Structure 1
Amino acid sequence: MRQFTAVVNPAAGSSSGAADLLALARLLREAGAGLETRYSRSLEHARELAREAGGRGRVVLAVGGDGIAGGVGGALSGTGAVLGLVPAGRGNDFARALGRTGKALDVPALAKTLLHSTPRVVDTIEVTSAVHPGVSVLGSVYAGVDAVANRHANTSRLLSGAASYYVGGARAVAGWRPAAYRITVDGTEHRERGYTVVAANSGYYGFGRHIAPGALLDDGLLDVVVIRHGPRRLFFSLMNELKTGAHLSRPQVRVLRGKEIRIEADRPVPYGADGEVDAVLPVTVRVQPGALKVLA
């Protein structure tokens, strides 16, 4: 029987997240599995807890949103340890890419998955910059107006979920001026002027927006989505189209694919990774094929 360590972000999600975790713990223990719970003080602390538990052969559960999922999953990347997700954040985009549907968490179904499913092997992303010297994440790295929007959404006290991202996006676009990007994909340089560059392992980011519909978690490639310069109203139209992937038909959207991507700009443009925004360009991202086992 599997033994679990839950690494919990106590600041993520809503009151329902705590109830879901209690219900999940009861089902796991009733089935004979062992479960211990560890509360993280920071993302780096969550990584430390994950590495320690994974080193003891335990399945590590990331309880929270995309930030802790990316932090815990990144810490386990390349170690052979197994990750399980308990989506309790606002976006839960990596869980969505793994097949989670609906807003409410189906706790009995999740318990069954954690207890009995065969681990799936997926890719991860190595992020290298002045702030991140070789940190691994799961979903995507994005540089531009969406990083600014996500920062606003993360600090919003009045709104949550998609509403916080819409308002954050409006604030970000209102103050944005186009950046001149230099994007090097597997040694080939591309120059674009615009809103953002997203290097995606997962197709989803920003609370369910399907930014990279062609991205696969296990193909050994990253999809690079570039939103070029256009009228400000364009970006608001794109925000609606991101729900379905319809934005790919617009001439302002370009998609590249590769294994190693270097993103630079003509000014210190902020970038984020898996919901966390704390650095500026330049950044280099590399796909790490088959680096993580996850229960999904």
Structure 2
Amino acid sequence: MTSEITLFVNPGSGRGRGAGAAGPAARALRDAGFTVRSVVGRDAPDALERARAAVAGGTGALIAVGGDGMVSLALQAVAGRDVPLGIVAAGTGNDIARSCGLPLGDPGEAGRTIAAALKAGHVRSIDLGRIGDRWFAGVLASGFDSRVNDRGNRMHWPRGRLRYDAAMLAELAALRPIGYRIGLDGGPCLETQATLVAVGNGPCYGGGMRMCPGARLDDGLFDITVVGPCSRTTLLRVFPKVYRGSHVDHPAVTVHRAARVSLEAEDVTGYADGEPVGPLPLTARCVPGAVRLLVTAGDH
């Protein structure tokens, strides 16, 4: 094991928490005897290029400091490689770290966890989803939730969580069923009307919403949650249950499992790990053991 590792930092993550988290994490790693180098790009493509160079150069680990967007970017550098990934969760949602049982909101503790994992060899191989050459760890969202993201990204006011809430209210006013064609493992396409379809490699998105509560990160399969047509009243009544994962018991919700999923719908953008992937149609496949994650003792 090389003692030189790389911190992959997003200074703007979590309204500046990313930059603040890098210091305590780096101190914890250096205190444990590691040499720490930082990668901070001018923008996402430049940062990814630098991260890939670090991985190709033989860094002992790539440590993503930030939120799910930063972890998603790091995945593009380490997926399919032997270099393990560490996560210092310092964003707004932190759903990937949450799904993996990693420390949240404590960069020093996250750094100590990563150091201990590196020394003891506590590495867990987890699955990733792949869409073309894009990897994701959590959920591929499409439909109502992705349209809320689309609208929120177009809005300049209000800021923060209030912008998401305002976008959700606007999309509720425009709520209508979407015609989907869903292909599962090459079988006959399911043609259905739905409010949203979520493809879960992991269970969570949106800061703890367990949209695909049965999804496991190491079973080689996606959980596909299909929310059928429903009224605004029903959606608002069922929505709070998503945080517990109990929405899947509602008669409007069905769950499928498959290793390969194709989604077709008009005027719908897919978002994976909170980042836009592109318009449907999209095909995602589950790649078993695609990344080596540094985890706490007993979780490997």
8 Å CA contact retained: 2:89, 2:103: no
1:144: how far off?
Answer: 0.9
1:157: how far off?
Answer: 5.0
Describe the superposition over 1:66-106 as per-residue Cα deviations: whole angstroms up to 9, x where unpaired: 1121121133111121111111211111011011466xx22
> Which residue pairs with 2:298 in the alignment?
none
Q: Which stretch of the first structure deviates more once superposed, 105-114 or 276-285? A: 105-114
> Which residue pairs with 2:98 in the alignment?
96
1:276: how far off?
Answer: 0.9
Residues 167, 181 of structure 1: alpha-carbon distance in 2 compared, 3 angstrom cutoff: same
Aligned-residue sequence identity (percent) comes to 33
The TM-score, its normalising length taken from structure 2, stands at 0.89
> Which residue pairs with 2:48 in the alignment?
47
1:136: how far off?
Answer: 1.4
SS in 2 for 1:48: helix
Describe the superposition over 1:124-166 as per-residue Cα deviations: whole angstroms up to 9, x where unpaired: 11113xxxxx2112112111111122234455653435x5543
Q: Does 1:121 align with 2:125?
A: yes
1:19: how far off?
Answer: 2.4
Describe the superposition over 1:108-134 as per-residue Cα deviations: whole angstroms up to 9, x where unpaired: 321221112111110011113xxxxx2
> Which residue pairs with 2:282 in the alignment?
283
1:12: how far off?
Answer: 1.3
8 Å CA contact retained: 2:200, 2:212: yes
Kindly tell me the number of residue pairs found equivalent between the two proteins. Answer: 287
Q: State which of 66, 69, 73 in structure 1 corresponds to 2:71.
A: 69
SS in 1 for 2:24: helix
1:5: how far off?
Answer: 1.1
Distance 1:124 1:279 in 2: 18
The TM-score, its normalising length taken from structure 1, stands at 0.90
1:241: how far off?
Answer: 0.9
> Which residue pairs with 2:27 in the alignment?
26
Distance 2:136 2:237 in 1: 29
8 Å CA contact retained: 2:95, 2:205: yes
Distance 1:146 1:127 in 2: 19
Residues 233, 141 of structure 1: alpha-carbon distance in 2 compared, 3 angstrom cutoff: same
Q: One-letter code of the match for 2:228?
A: R
Distance 1:210 1:277 in 2: 20
Distance 2:29 2:193 in 1: 51
Q: Which stretch of the first structure deviates more once superposed, 48-57 or 116-125? A: 48-57
Q: Does 1:78 align with 2:80?
A: yes
